[in-house]
Structures are given as C-alpha cells and as structure tokens.
Amino acid sequence: MTTTDTGKTLRLASWAQNTAPSPMQDMLALTARPGLISFGLGLPNQELFPREAFAEASADVLRNKPHTLQYGPAGVAHTLKTSIVELMKGRGVTCTEDEIFLTTGAQQAINMLARLLLEPGGQVLTEEITYPGFLQVLEPFAPELLTVPSCPQTGMDVDAVEALLQAGKRPAFIYSITDGHNPLGSSMSREKREKLARLAREYGVPIVEDDPYGFLSYDEVSVPPLKALESEWVFYAGSFSKILAPGVRIGWLIVPEALIQKLSVVKESYDINTANWSQHSVAAYMESGKLAEHLQLLRREYSARRDTMLRAIEAYFPAETRAEKPSNGMFLWVELPDFVDVPTLLRDAVEHKKVAFFPGQAFDTPGNTKGKHGMRLNFSNATHEQIEQGIKGIGELIEAQRSK
C-alpha cells in the first residue's frame, strides 16, 4: 500500500510495496549541488565526449535519413550491427549480425534477459557485492539469490560457483561483470574465466555477461570476455554508454540466434524499439572510423586519473587502507580500516569537504554486509586537481574519526 498526495490509499504490486529508495537517485540529487566534487556516480567524463564527430554524424542522419525519426522494427540498424561485429572481433569474440540485438543501453539488455530467463521466485547466482541496477532488475521476480564472494584482484569466486552447482543448485543464470567490475573494479583472471565458461557449458546454466567497461582496458594485454570462450552459454551485454556517451542510450546483446525473435517480443513490450535516430547516429559515428582513436584517448585520460587517485590514497588515507589498481573501467574499491564509520564519513565529506563517494554497503546483496567498510570511488569524472583535493579531504575526515 502507499498513500497518495491527496491521502488516498493505493494498492501497489507486492514487489513495488517493498522497494527501497534508490541510492543512485539519491546520489544523483547530491551531486547536483554546485561545487561538489563527485566520485559518486559512474559518470564518463563529459569533457571527453567526441562532440564534434558525433554532431557531424548525427546531423547527417537527421538531414538525409528522415525515416530514422519514425518508429522502426525492434533492435535493428544493420550497419551498426556490422560495426559491433568488428568491434567485438577486437576483443576476440566471433559473432554475426544475426546474433546481435540492439537495446536501450546495457541496463535494458540485462532486464530483457532476466525477463526471458527467470521465472518468478526462481534462482539467480551473483556476487555478494554487485551492481545495484542489476538487483533492481530482479526485484519484480523476487528471486532466491545465490551469492558467492569476490576477490578484489581476480573477481568472482568460481570455486564457490562450482560448489553450488555441484550441490544441485540450478540458477536461471549467473550474472557476471567480468571486466572493470562495478563496484569492485576487478577483472576476472583468465583461469577463472575458463573455469566459469566450462561450468556454464557442463551444467547448462547461462551466464549473463554485463560488459560496459571491457573496452576501457588500461593494460597492454587484456583478457578476452567470457563470450570469447563460450559462445553458446554466454549471453553478452555491451554498451556505448562508457565508450561514446550514455546519452545516446544504445547497447547491444549478443545471443544465440534462436533467442532474437523472443527478444523482439520483450523489447516491444518495453519501448517498442530502440530510438531509431540514435541507433543510426551511432552507426554513422562508427562508420566514420573514429572510435578506435577515441578509445585510445579515454584509456590514456582515465588511466592517468586512476593513477592520480591511487597516489592520493597512498598519501592521505591511513596505512591500513587497501585499494587495488583496476585494469579496466572507472572505479576504485577501497577497504577502510574497521574504525571508520563509512555513512558518517560520507555525510561529513559532503557537508565539510564538498566531496561525495558511494558507500560500500549500497552494493551489498540482501543479507550480506561485506561492503560495510568499503567505498567506491569513480575516477573518470573529476580533474586531477579535484581528485587530489577530494581524497585529501576524505583522508582528513578519516583521521578525525580515528582520534575520536
């Protein structure tokens, strides 16, 4: 039940009655405060959006392809699919246009897969600390969550996955953020990827691989995604949000061809079709061949900011702090000493230092408390000076808590 503004009682679906306010929305409101340094949200850096090249591509579409302002069939812009096939080849994934389904971002992609795979009350296997947007996807299904720990260096505990499968658990799917994990920043080791792919095949349990950060890799050699190791049982979700701009709202699924027609039905029920003009504008941008150079720029800029943040943490946070260096993505996960009360730290950081971060507990799956002493820091969105200033400010507040 909920009460309306005029005092009437409204009966909501049971899952909606129990929804908690979204910490992401709260953070969005917080970071709108003028002058606030935000390490909170996973925002790509606005200054780096390839605005000129995208303006050219999208203006051309507007002028010369009026049908792109029309409704369109769900999930098609063939030229964009061709560009995605090429893009995925660079990550070691072999696929065809017929296995690609265009979506309104990766968020919708994982939502559509959940709708396709999960029965109400079914089981889903995920990590103890995970992306809250995924938990929101699951809410209407009220599933039983099977959770496994994660290692900050090597990702999901795949032995624990195996133990659950050996014990007879058969989740509808396993959810994996294989590269640049949100919030842990981890990328799964090659050995774990191989084992997880083998388990999916052996037990016939699909993996939903959510991969918005895989293209933002900062090491010379990056390990291929799960999809490259197992094409049948891995359903891959990609996105242009972090490599081009989230405002275009374009993502993609790579799934066995047999699922495409089913996805069309789900897609129509959500939003009829992915914004046609946006699809074609991204397609035109991709055809201009400028993404590769843009990715180089992002890798250079983001890895430099990551390094600045790590140096500042080393300089200003207590020696007992643990922070891993992520090889992908936009997040640093920091484990603070036990004496730190993280929610109080956030409140004081916003009030007294004008800096925000995401407290680790926002990423705990229900019943888990592993994130209690953690914090997620986004390093893509701030300048080097802001990173230095913000981390110094948080460090001073941590020291103040120690001496209380």
DSSP tag of 218: -
* 42 counts as binding ligand PLP under rule CB under 6 A: yes
Q: How far is the CB of 109 from ligand PLP (least distance, A)?
A: 7
- Residue whose CB is nearest to ligand PLP in the complex, by number: 105
Question: Given candidates 111, 126, 147, 241, which one binds ligand PLP under the rule CB under 6 A?
Answer: 241
Nearer to ligand PLP, 241 or 361 (CB): 241
Question: Given candidates 239, 273, 328, 381, which one binds ligand PLP under the rule CB under 6 A?
Answer: 239
Q: Which stretch binds ligand PLP (CB under 6 A): 105-113, 119-127, 156-164, 320-328?
A: 105-113
* 374 counts as binding ligand PLP under rule CB under 6 A: no
Alpha helices in 118-246 (DSSP H): 132-138, 158-166, 190-203, 226-229
* 251 counts as binding ligand PLP under rule CB under 6 A: yes
Q: How far is the CB of 371 from ligand PLP (least distance, A)?
A: 15
* 246 counts as binding ligand PLP under rule CB under 6 A: yes
CA separation for the pair 223, 246 (Å, rounded): 25
CA separation for the pair 402, 404 (Å, rounded): 6
* 210 counts as binding ligand PLP under rule CB under 6 A: yes
CA separation for the pair 164, 168 (Å, rounded): 7
Nearer to ligand PLP, 306 or 353 (CB): 306
DSSP tag of 353: I
Cα 284 to Cα 73, 79, 249, 294, 398: the distances in Å are: 19, 8, 15, 15, 49
Q: How far is the CB of 265 from ligand PLP (least distance, A)?
A: 21
**One-character DSSP codes across 1-20:** -EE-TTS-EE---HHHHTPP
Q: Which stretch binds ligand PLP (CB under 6 A): 83-91, 221-229, 238-246, 300-308?
A: 238-246
Each residue 158-197 as x (binds ligand PLP by CB under 6 A) or -, in order, gives: -------------------x----x---------------
Q: How far is the CB of 338 from ligand PLP (least distance, A)?
A: 28
Residues 6+ apart with CB under 8 A from 142: 14, 15, 120, 121
Alpha helices in 4-149 (DSSP H): 14-17, 23-31, 51-64, 78-89, 105-117, 132-138
Q: How far is the CB of 318 from ligand PLP (least distance, A)?
A: 28
Nearer to ligand PLP, 127 or 230 (CB): 127
Q: Virtual CA dihedral for 251, 254, 259, 262, nearest 10 degrees? A: 0
In this structure, the number of other CB atoms found within 10 A of the CB of residue 276 comes to 20
Q: How far is the CB of 18 from ligand PLP (least distance, A)?
A: 23
Is 349 in a helix, a strand, or coil? Answer: helix
* 133 counts as binding ligand PLP under rule CB under 6 A: yes
- The 3-state DSSP composition of the chain as helix, strand, coil percent (nearest 5) reads 45, 15, 40
Binding site for ligand PLP (CB under 6 A): 42, 105-107, 131, 133, 177, 182, 210, 212, 239, 241, 246, 251
